[in-house]
A and B are shown apart, each in its own frame.
Chain A
Amino acid sequence: MVTNNHSRSTTFVLLFLLIGVAFISMRYGAVNISLDEIFSSFRKYFTNSDSMSLNERIFMEIRFPRALLCIIVGACLAVGGTLMQALFRNPIVEPGLVGTSSGAAFGAALYFVLGASFKFNAGVWTLPLAACFGAILSTSLVFVLAVSKESGRSSIVKLLLTGIAINAFFMSGVGFLSYIARDPQARSITFWGMGTLSGANWHAVIIVGLINIVCILLALVYSKQLNTLLLGEEEASYIGIDVKQLKLIILSINVVMISSATAFVGIISFVGLIVPHLLRMLHGSDNRILIKHSVLLGAIILSLADTTARLLLSPAELPIGIVTSLIGVPVFISLLRSKNYYF
């Protein structure tokens, strides 16, 4: 089919762009790293890692894992957004909407403020674990509360509204914690709430990477079924879809993806919202194509945003959430106003 060839060439263009952007983000920053240094650091990493120069070390231990984490998290946010918008049949849905990201923020804030008083300490893992715990808590709360008493089922609208309520609840918790926090703690909460990739390391890359590769593959498996929800839940069931099961699977994939990413990099808004919209303008709403492209475009946009966040006030660093919102808002508004997109 014609559309297939079209979408394939888009895939190549996006892939090409991603490689370019990732490359730029690895080379430039507070310190610029030359091509030679990149190659030699790879060589030395496998042969003689003690003899690496400072720049080679910066590349191997900071820039490279950071660029990879950017790609993974960007992909995860965009795919999450695509899944949630298709599931809720709603164009304004973000992946964090079912309570996930506010719960994660609450968990993180709890750690920043009260972390010292708890005996629990898992080293570098404490913050991600706390955030994950918060995310799972808030998301389960949304699901439990959204199930109606009579039918034992949860309608999409009810999930959405409960999600909004629970989000507000946990954000007020975050607000309270930053109110009682001392100054440096409050700063940590704020910084984390706007997202940052400055904590990127190989542990994070491996953990978030493995989780998200599995989740994205699963999302692709269910992408065809997800298409039928475009017609509505009733119609989907007439085409042979077990809607209840599908909803549960898609929501679970999203929660795992988003809480794992949020746990390491904080809350990054707008990527999950705009990427699916941009892509729908290219090839329509077939989720089989949309999810593949979301992986690439999400990675591109987050890499760009991170590079900007690092370069704008170099050597200081902006929270990446500020950059994504700054770019995201005008893009989103112009999308809404564009004539060839129908709501």
Chain B
Amino acid sequence: MITIENIGYHIGHNTLLKEVYLQFHPGKLNLIIGPNGAGKSTLIKILCNQILPDTGSVLFEQRDIKSISVKEMAKMRAVLSQNIELVFPMKVNEVVMMGRYPHFNASPQKRDFDICEETMSYFGVSDLASRNYMTLSGGEKQRTHFARVAAQIWESNENECRYLFLDEPLTFLDIYYQFDFLNKLKVLLSASDLIVVGVVHDLHLAAKFADNISLLYNGQVLADGSVESVLTKENIKTAYRLDAEVQSALNGIRLQF
């Protein structure tokens, strides 16, 4: 479980986050939504230890993330960002192998090769394995990183949970691969030690796939909980300044603007 306690963050006089309390549980797809400038990116950066909050702390189980070394963290936590560009040519399987770097010293072992092959086939990039990353389409690049990030935390740790943070990873994918990725993620979430937290922009996707939604607005948590309890007409009006129709559908809810 991830516990966020009283997180606050300022730059100058601007308050980006204020008194944020949240909990994320394993086995669920936790999605963070909110309008531009709500503090989603800041929050995910704090979760990833990329910036330090002014107040409060983030706990992985009972451990404050500040007390976990970069090296140890990399063995249990992976982060998927959007739009990663390489400046120099590298093969797809080499990029995926970087996900295994925290797990071996000088050169990769058989186990590392096996895991890379598994994740590449899981995310459908096996055929691209020896292609130059720089020649891939945007969608193919992002799938390569799915495989890399998955390879990083493919194996369960003995005592620790595994954590996966997604920072708007679906932005450059077409709708087929958006669905495909989220479905595959949900299959992985059947493992009881995997905690996934992601930032997404698309409310329809969030409504369709999330198990738990946290709606940020003006640096604070406006609502947190199940899809039905968060994506209400009132909350959408407050956060996004839009009138929405919320209909209950067969599997969840449907939004119309």
Contact (Cβ within 8 A) B84 A280: no
Contact (Cβ within 8 A) A234 B81: yes
Chain B residues 73-91 with CB under 8 Å of chain A are 73-75, 77-79, 81, 84-91
A61 within 8 A of B: no
Residue of B nearest to A230 (CB): B86
A240–B153 Cα distance when bound, in Å, is 12
Contact of B90 among A234, A285, A288, A343 (CB under 8 A): A285
A158 within 8 A of B: no
Residues in B whose Cβ lies below 8 Å from that of A281? 89
Contact of B106 among A224, A284, A341 (CB under 8 A): A224
Number of interface residues of A (CB under 8 A): 30
Say which one of B97-105, B120-128, B168-176 lies at the interface with A: B97-105
Contact (Cβ within 8 A) B91 A284: yes
Contact (Cβ within 8 A) B99 A239: yes
Contact (Cβ within 8 A) A240 B81: no
Number of interface residues of B (CB under 8 A): 33
Residues in B whose Cβ lies below 8 Å from that of A242? 70-71
Contact (Cβ within 8 A) B84 A231: yes
Residue of B nearest to A342 (CB): B134
Residue of A nearest to B45 (CB): A234
Residue of B nearest to A242 (CB): B70
Residues in B whose Cβ lies below 8 Å from that of A90? 87
A316–B91 Cα distance when bound, in Å, is 47
Question: Which of A230, A237, A238 gathers most chain B CB within 10 Å?
Answer: A238
Contact (Cβ within 8 A) A91 B87: yes
A116–B73 Cα distance when bound, in Å, is 58
Chain B residues 227-255 with CB under 8 Å of chain A are none
Chain A residues 301-343 with CB under 8 Å of chain B are 341-343
B135 within 8 A of A: yes
B193 within 8 A of A: no
Residues in B whose Cβ lies below 8 Å from that of A232? 84-85
Minimal beta-carbon separation of A160 from chain B (angstroms): 13
Residues in A whose Cβ lies below 8 Å from that of B134? 342
B94 within 8 A of A: yes
Contact (Cβ within 8 A) A230 B73: no
A312–B113 Cα distance when bound, in Å, is 52
Question: Which of B75, B88, B91, B107 gathers most chain A CB within 10 Å?
Answer: B88
A297–B87 Cα distance when bound, in Å, is 22
Residues in B whose Cβ lies below 8 Å from that of A228? 98, 101
Question: A239-B74, A242-B70 are known contacts. Are A284 and B89 too (CB-CB below 8 A)?
Answer: yes
B42 within 8 A of A: no
Residues in A whose Cβ lies below 8 Å from that of B107? 288
Contact of A342 among B91, B102, B113, B132 (CB under 8 A): B132
Contact of B101 among A3, A239, A341 (CB under 8 A): A239
Question: A235-B81, A240-B71, A240-B75 are known contacts. Are A91 and B98 too (CB-CB below 8 A)?
Answer: no
Contact (Cβ within 8 A) B86 A231: yes
Offer 6 A-B interface pairs, CB within 8 angstroms, sorted by A.
Answer: A3-B91, A227-B101, A235-B84, A239-B98, A285-B88, A342-B132
